[in-house]
Every structure is written in structure tokens, then in C-alpha cells.
Amino acid sequence: MPRASIMIRILFALCLLAATFNHVRAVLQHGLLWDYGYGNKIALTSKIYWDVLTILDPLAAILLFGKPRAGIWLTVAIIVSDVIHNTYYAAMNDQWLEPFYLAQIGFLVVVLGLAPIAARPFPSLANDV
């Protein structure tokens, strides 16, 4: 397996584990279905989505090494959906320059740019799903 793929997957996993830490911390401090400070402006589905990331983020990190192609696809799905989801709240609250949002945009750019490179050494999807 090429070194670049491993390094990229390590980077993705570290970012996903940092996100996991943030979600676990939020659940421990505020409980499940926390509103992340948005109060009654937040939909129940958003609260559920953020809580589900507490499970999906570490799952993707594990899959990056156990089932690399599945882990890469899950990482892409997580960050794309997270940025789409959180863009709504960033727009609603004029949070375009908040560190959490800029970090997610940065991770999105990195993932979309590097995922094809990370996936190269896995020629057959059938062997990795």
C-alpha cells in the first residue's frame, strides 16, 4: 500500500477522532439532543444528526484502516453532509467566520482533494466492502 494513502488516511482519522471528541464532550456536558446553543431555532433532526456523528465519526476512522474504501466514502459522506447541514446554521446566525465552520470547510476541501489519492491503491471495490 503506498505511503501517501496511509498518511492521508491517518490525517482523515485524526480529524474524525477530534470531531468525535467534540461530540462526546457535548453529549457528556449537555446530554443527548443538545441544541448546540441555538435554542428553539434548531430542528430535532439537527440534534439527532449531531448525536449520530458521535457514532459515525469514529466508525469512519476505524473503517479507514479496516475497510479503507468504505472508510474513505463514509468520511466523504460525513463531511459533505456536515458542511451542508451546518451551512444552514452558519447562514441563519451569520457565523461564516466562526472557527468551527472554517475548520469544517477546510476539512471538506482536504477530503475532496485527497480522497481520490487515498483510494488509488484499492483496485477492487468488491474486495473492500
C-alpha–C-alpha distance, residues 26 and 121, integer Å:
37
Q: What share of the chain is helix, strand, coil (3-state, %, to 5)?
A: 80, 0, 20
**In this model, does residue 126 exceed pLDDT 70?**
no
Q: What is the pLDDT of residue 91?
A: 96
For the chain, what are the domain ranges?
A: 3-127
**In this model, does residue 59 exceed pLDDT 60?**
yes
Kindly provide the residue ranges of all beta strands, DSSP E only, lying in the chain, ordered along the sequence: none
Span 30-45, pLDDT tens digits:
999 999 989 998 999 9
**In this model, does residue 124 exceed pLDDT 60?**
no
Per-chain mean pLDDT for the chain:
92
Span 81-117, pLDDT tens digits:
999 999 999 999 999 999 999 999 999 999 999 999 9
Q: 121 falls in which pLDDT band (50, 70, 90)?
A: low
pTM of the model: 0.89
